[in-house]
Amino acid sequence: MAIRSALFAGTAALLMLSSSLALAFEPSGKVDCLAPADPGGGWDFTCRSVGDALQKLGLVPRGVQTTNMAGAGGGVAYAHTVSKRSTDDQLLVAASTATTTRLAQKQFRNLTVDQVNWVGTVGADYGIIGVAKDSKYKDLPSLLNALKGHPRAVKFAGGSAKGGWDHLKVLMAARAAGVGKLPKIPYLYYNNGGEALIQVIGGHVDAFTGDIIEAKGFVESGDLRVLAVFSKERLPGDLSSIPTAREQGLDVIAPNWRGFYTPKDIPDDAKQYWRQAIDKLYASDDWKQVMKSNGLMPFHMSGDEFDAFVHQQVKDIADLSTEIGLIK
């Protein structure tokens, strides 16, 4: 009798497990990926390339449709997700370090980092500081030491506005090196990284702050000497000769990551599905080829780890932005 009861209990448990798996979330129609900018930019690339890969891997049954929703540096798409589609489990939204920077600097009005679900990342473009090939600065510490007591001794050029990610990378490195009076460090911003690079290579500005992908051609030609890359470890392949800031005693990590968030109020099984889908995509040979073809560097987090990373990045950027007077 006891054996029959045990068998019955075991069978019931298996049936319940089978039922729960059958009811687990899977996308049922065409998935919508919001790119918070016009076609052609980084967020647009993220949606379209990831959408194609998800379909090839069989993780979405009817493909992914990219919808461009430009405005407020990503704020329009963020507000739309929070207010209009908070329960839409068929929605992915492209994000990057630009998203966390604007959240930290309160550029999305009253919206906060906790109002969406942070899914995961699919790669990154790491920050660098570089100088012209004949510059007197041979490493990052020597350049930053020049700022101690003389914060205007080195001029930096970048492709983002004052307070943007290129500017913040300089300030993060300077603060880690113990440089004071951070707001006094000269930062000149141009329309894009290419213009900033030309100013540095031409000898008009002392140092470049930007990302490795936009500078790669100048590195390969020998016109730009990269003093440090802000990654945990040295980059792969031809870029492996570039030292990290960490190697030089400065614990600064500055990835311009590419990834996604989803609406906050979707079911837990949908959240788990999208996190696992991004994990599978990142591990696939198809995605490795996309990264190689487009210059994306290794950088992957998902789930709770990514959520904690985003919250810490927002806090760090907010603290730094307050310190230099960008926000109160």
Residue 68 to residue 40: CA distance in whole angstroms = 10
Cα torsion 142, 240, 300, 48: sign: positive
**pLDDT value at residue 36:** 93
| Tokens, residue 98 | 């630009």
Q: Is 159 helix (H, G, I), strand (E, B) or coil?
A: coil
Location of each CATH 3.40.190.10 domain in the chain: 126-248
Which CATH architecture best describes the domain 126-248? 3-Layer(aba) Sandwich (3.40)
The closest of 250, 256, 177, 251 to 209, measured between CA atoms, is 256
**pLDDT value at residue 49:** 96
The closest of 307, 283, 297 to 255, measured between CA atoms, is 297
Does residue 209 carry a pLDDT above 70? Answer: yes
The closest of 263, 274, 270, 267 to 86, measured between CA atoms, is 263
**pLDDT value at residue 180:** 92
Q: Do residues 229 and 212 make contact, with C-beta atoms less than 8 angstroms apart?
A: yes
The kind and range of the H/E element at 12 are helix 2-22
Location of each CATH 3.40.190.150 domain in the chain: 31-124+255-323
Residue 304 to residue 310: CA distance in whole angstroms = 10
**pLDDT value at residue 17:** 37
Does residue 21 carry a pLDDT above 60? Answer: no
| Tokens, residue 181 | 């009076």
The closest of 46, 43, 50 to 73, measured between CA atoms, is 43
Residue 205 to residue 89: CA distance in whole angstroms = 48
Confidence of residue 1 (pLDDT cuts 50, 70, 90): very low
Average confidence score pLDDT of the chain: 91
Does residue 54 carry a pLDDT above 80? Answer: yes
**pLDDT value at residue 149:** 85
Query: pTM above the 0.85 mark?
Result: no
Count other C-beta atoms under 10 Å from residue 104's C-beta: 23
Residue range 31-124+255-323 in CATH 3.40.190.150: yes
155: CB partners within 8 A, 6+ apart: 186, 187, 188, 205, 206, 207
Residue 219 to residue 114: CA distance in whole angstroms = 39
Burial class of 248 by CB neighbour count within 10 A (0 to 12, 13 to 18, 19+):
middle
Confidence of residue 106 (pLDDT cuts 50, 70, 90): very high
Q: How far is CA 85 from CA 43, 175, 245, 265, in A?
A: 19, 40, 41, 9
